[in-house]
Amino acid sequence: MNAVVPPGPASSPPPTPSRNRLLVTSGMGWMFDAMDVGLLSFILAALKADWGLSAGQMGWIGAINSIGMAVGAMMFGMMADRIGRKHVFVITLLLFAIASGLSAFASTLAVLMVLRFFIGMGLGGELPVASTYVSERVPAHERGRVVVLLESFWALGWILAALIAYFVIPRFDKDTGWRVALLLGALPAFYALYLRRKLPDDKPTAPPSAGLPWTARLARLWAPEYKRATVMLWVLWFTVVFSYYGMFLWLPSVMIGKGFALIKSFEYVLLMTLAQLPGYFTAAWLIERMGRKFVLVVYLLGTAGSAWMFGSADTQEALLLWGALLSFFNLGAWGALYAYSPENYPAQIRASGVGMAAGIGRIGGILGPLTIPYLGAQGWATGAIFGLFAVTIVVGALAVAVLGRETKGELAVH
């Protein structure tokens, strides 16, 4: 892991083994989560061929996943402030992994959608809790970089998903390939048992709020000193999640719609996905030098421009170029988002605040996968739909620029 950690400021100490172990241990859970989401994007294209799904039905599979994520982010975020981050981290990882394994045996669309809801609950709860857990355990001068590097495991999960889609799904018949892929997504269940033993307990300086009711924690998010941050984070999360799930869950299907065969679309999306890693690493390098707001605004605007150009691209070269830049900027922004969000709240409401913001974001994740089939049915061209996503992302960038404050080096305890 040392080889990929960008250099810190001149005064920063070298990475310590304990910090790297924390990063890798937490990041592996993050990677398996991303593998499941990535597999869903490829499985949607395979399910269309196997079950003859309509575009609307495919959109609802992605949307029900986000409904579960919204519920999980809010519920488990509150729970993490009450019983501790570590316990919730393991619970959510087990929930999504077991449901993922069971979904491989789904025989109807209804059963698959119920299981996707529970997968989403686990995934939606785990991500904000894990980022909060890690951010509380690293020094202020390197916190942003470490959390962005934690988020970079998301790219590794997507790469694994793309490799499974490219090498595994086509090797079986149309009813078997996607099921084998989902079984591979159940592997985190075994890893969660390892996490229970290996993860350190929550820091004593950031205790769970066992005596503070969830209603009081929710009300405190709207106290005068936190109201501006709450509004900003809710807008930011909604716009980022809406655009991400609207665009990335449909990438293989968009490629097919532009005339590429199923296997070729998987290959191109794999190449685009590889661009996520330098996006994360450059964001990790910049976030402690230029600050959270700078990285978020620049990478979000880069995402908006790339989305606009990708939607109107009509050649193989242009699709690969703008798709790669879309991955680069969008995932770099995601890394900064997870580093920035916990720093806006004190310890007693930190996981609740991040969980609620993520839950509001998942409402965007519900609407995003439905946007392409709905607007497509209304006669919108792909370019116009991706233009809508680009405008939405600009709104998120403006929210950070106008309402956000720079939190570099901050993480209040009280």
Q: What is the pLDDT of residues 198-229, one digit of tens each?
A: 676 665 444 445 456 667 777 888 888 889 99
**How confident is the model over 102-108, as a mean pLDDT?**
86
pLDDT given for residue 397 in this prediction: 95
pLDDT given for residue 329 in this prediction: 93
Answer yes or no: is pLDDT of 393 > 90. yes
**How confident is the model over 25-36, as a mean pLDDT?**
78
pLDDT given for residue 9 in this prediction: 40
Nearest partner of 307 among 253, 255, 397, 244, judged by Cα: 244
More confident residue, 74 or 409: 74
pLDDT bracket for residue 389 (50, 70, 90): very high
Classify residue 52 as left (phi > 0), alpha (psi -120 to 50) or beta.
Answer: left
Q: How far is CA 219 from CA 75, 132, 147, in A?
A: 15, 20, 27
Q: Mean pLDDT, the chain, as a whole number?
A: 78
More confident residue, 119 or 30: 119
Residue 106 lies in a domain: yes
More confident residue, 51 or 206: 51
Yes or no: say if 239 and 301 are a contact pair by the CB < 8 Å rule: no
Domain tally for the chain? Answer: 1
Instruction: Identify the weakest region by mean pLDDT among 45-54, 170-179, 253-262.
Output: 253-262
Residue 5 lies in a domain: no
pLDDT given for residue 272 in this prediction: 75
Answer yes or no: is pLDDT of 141 > 50. yes
**What secondary structure letter does DSSP report for 249?**
T
Q: Which residues contact 314 (CB under 8 A, 6 or more apart)?
A: 258
Residue 273 lies in a domain: yes
Yes or no: say if 210 and 202 are a contact pair by the CB < 8 Å rule: no
Answer yes or no: is pLDDT of 331 > 60. yes
pLDDT given for residue 94 in this prediction: 83
Residue 409 lies in a domain: no
Instruction: Identify the weakest region by mean pLDDT among 250-264, 272-286, 369-383.
Output: 250-264
pLDDT given for residue 211 in this prediction: 54
pLDDT bracket for residue 260 (50, 70, 90): low
Return the structure tokens found at 319. 């699709």
Yes or no: say if 210 and 134 are a contact pair by the CB < 8 Å rule: no
Yes or no: say if 213 and 349 are a contact pair by the CB < 8 Å rule: no
**What secondary structure letter does DSSP report for 175?**
T
Answer yes or no: is pLDDT of 233 > 50. yes
d(CA 147, CA 168): 32
Q: SS3 for 407?
A: coil
CATH of the domain at 51: 1.20.1250.20
pLDDT given for residue 310 in this prediction: 87
pLDDT given for residue 212 in this prediction: 63
Answer yes or no: is pLDDT of 6 > 70. no
More confident residue, 57 or 308: 308
Residue 119 lies in a domain: yes
Residue 290 lies in a domain: yes
Q: One-letter amino acid identity for 258? A: K
**How confident is the model over 286-307, as a mean pLDDT?**
91
Can you give the residue range of the structural domain that contains 310?
17-201+211-403
d(CA 122, CA 113): 14
Residue 411 lies in a domain: no
Residue 408 lies in a domain: no
d(CA 37, CA 119): 10
